[in-house]
Structure 1
Amino acid sequence: MRPEITLPLKKQAAEKMKKGFPLIEVSALAKKLPPIEEGSIVHLCDEAGTFIGKGYYGKQNKGIGWMLTNQKADEINHSFFVNRIKTAFEQRKSLFQDPTTTAFRLFNGEGDGMGGLTIDYYNEFYVFTWYSEGIYEFRTDVYKAFQQVQSFKGIYEKKRFASKGEYVEDDDFVMGERGEFPLLVKENDIQFAIYLNDGPMVGVFLDQREVRKRIKDTYAKGKTVLNTFSYTGAFSVAAAIGGATKTTSVDLAKRSLPKTIEQFSVNGIDYEAQDIVVMDVFNYFKYAKKKELSFDLVILDPPSFARSKKHTFSAAKDYTGLLQEAIALTEKNGVIIASTNCSTFNMGKFHKFIKEAFQKEKLNYEILEQYTLPRDFKTTKAFSEGDYLKVVFIKVKG
Structure 2
Amino acid sequence: MSNFSVDGEILFERVEKALQERLPRMDDQHQTALRLFSGFYEGFADVLIDLYATTLVIFNYHENPVVLRPLLIELQKWFIRQFPWITAVVHKTRSLRNMASRLGVIRFGDEQALATRIVEHGVSYAINLRLNQDASFYLDTRNLRGWLKEHMAGKSVLNTFAYTGSLGAAALAGGARRVVQTDHNPRFLEVARETYRLNGWPVNDEDFLIGDFFKVVDGLKRRKQLFDCVILDPPFFSTGFNGEIFLNEKTLPLLNKVRPLVAHDGVLIVVNNALFMSGTGLIRIFDEISRSGYLWLEEIIPVPEDVTGFPKTRVSPPPVDPSPFNHPTKIAVLRVARKDRAAAS
Return the TM-score normalized by structure 1: 0.74
1:320-368 superposed Cα distances (whole Å, 9 cap, x missing partner): 0111122111111101111111111111111222232344xx3433322
Select the structure that is richer in strand.
1
Report the alpha carbon displacement of residue 185 of structure 1 after superposing the two structures with TM.
Answer: 1.0
Measure, in 2, the Cα distance between the counterparts of 1:198 and 1:292: 34
| Separation in structure 2 between the aligned mates of residue 285 and residue 113 of structure 1, nearest angstrom | 42
**Is residue 243 of structure 2 the alignment partner of residue 303 of structure 1?**
no
Q: Which amino acid aligns with 1:246?
A: R
Kindly state the Cα deviation for residue 142 of structure 1 after the two structures are TM-superposed.
Answer: 3.3
Specify the alignment match of 2:266 in structure 1: 334
Paired residues, number:
321
3-state SS in 2 of match to 1:255: helix
Aligned to 1:318: 250
- Alpha-carbon shift at residue 317 of structure 1 (Å): 0.8
Report the secondary structure of 1:376's partner residue.
helix
**The residue matched to 1:92 in structure 2 has which SS?**
helix
Residue deviations 1:147-191, cap 9 Å, x none? 33523222111110036x987457611124544456111112211
Structure 2 letter corresponding to 1:313 = I
C-alpha spacing 1:238/1:273, structure 2 compared with 1 (3 Å): farther
Corresponding residue for residue 281 of structure 2: 349
Equivalent residue, structure 2, for 1:256: 188
Which residue of the partner structure matches residue 62 of structure 2?
A: 132
* Worse overlay, 93-102 or 261-270: 93-102
Give the aligned partner of residue 268 of structure 1.
200
What is the deviation of 1:127?
0.3
Partner of 2:308: helix, strand, or coil? coil
Equivalence for 1:392: 332
**What's the CA shift for 1:246?**
0.2
1:209 to 137, 142, 154: 142
Q: Name the amino acid aligned to 1:335.
A: V
Looking at structure 2, the residues matched to 363 and 167 of structure 1 have their Cα atoms a distance apart, in angstroms, of 49
RMSD of aligned alpha carbons:
2.5
AA aligned to 1:388 is P
Q: Which of residues 96, 109, 118 in structure 1 aligns to 2:26?
A: 96
Whether the 8 Å CA contact 2:65–2:93 is kept in 1: the answer is no
Q: Select the structure that is richer in helix.
A: 2
How far has the Cα of 1:146 moved from its partner? 4.3
State yes or no: 1:147 paired with 2:77: yes
Mapped to 2, the partners of 1:230 and 1:286 lie a distance apart of: 17
**Which residue number in structure 1 is paired with residue 156 of structure 2?**
224
Identity across the alignment (%)? 24
Aligned pairs (5 A) from 1:6-21: none
> Is contact 2:40–2:316 with CA below 8 Å preserved after alignment?
no
**Cα separation, partners in 2 of 1:130 and 1:275, compared to 1, 3 Å:** same
How far has the Cα of 1:135 moved from its partner? 5.2
> CA distance change for structure 1 residues 171 and 158 in 2, over 3 Å: closer, same or farther?
closer
> Retained in 1: the 8 A contact 2:153–2:175?
yes
Distance 1:319 1:394 in 2: 14
CA distance in 1, matches of 2:145, 2:46: 27
**Distance in 2 between residues matched to 1:208 and 1:216, nearest whole Å:** 13
Cα distance in 2 between the residues matched to 1:388 and 1:281: 23
Instruction: State the 1:75 CA deviation.
Output: 5.7
Which sections of structure 2, spanning at least 5 residues, go unmatched? 321-326
Which of residues 157, 176, 197 in structure 1 aligns to 2:91? 157
Q: What residue is the counterpart of 1:173 in the other structure?
A: 106
CA distance in 2, matches of 1:307, 1:232: 18
Query: Given residue 332 of structure 2, which amino acid in structure 1 is its aligned partner?
Result: V
* TM-score for the superposition, normalised by structure 2: 0.85
Amino acid at match of 2:12: V
Return the offset for 1:115: 0.7
Q: Which amino acid aligns with 2:137?
A: V
Q: Give the deviation of 1:296 after TM superposition.
A: 0.4
Is the CA contact (8 Å cut-off) linking 1:85 and 1:146 kept in structure 2? no
Select the structure of larger CA radius of gyration: 1
Cα 1:392–1:173, aligned 2, differ >3 Å: closer, same or farther? Answer: same
Partner of residue 184, structure 1: 117
Q: Deviations over 1:81-139 (max 9, x none)?
A: 33222112101112114769611111111312111110000112100011124454123
2:39 is matched with: 109
Q: State the distance in 2 between where 1:289 and 1:198 align.
A: 31
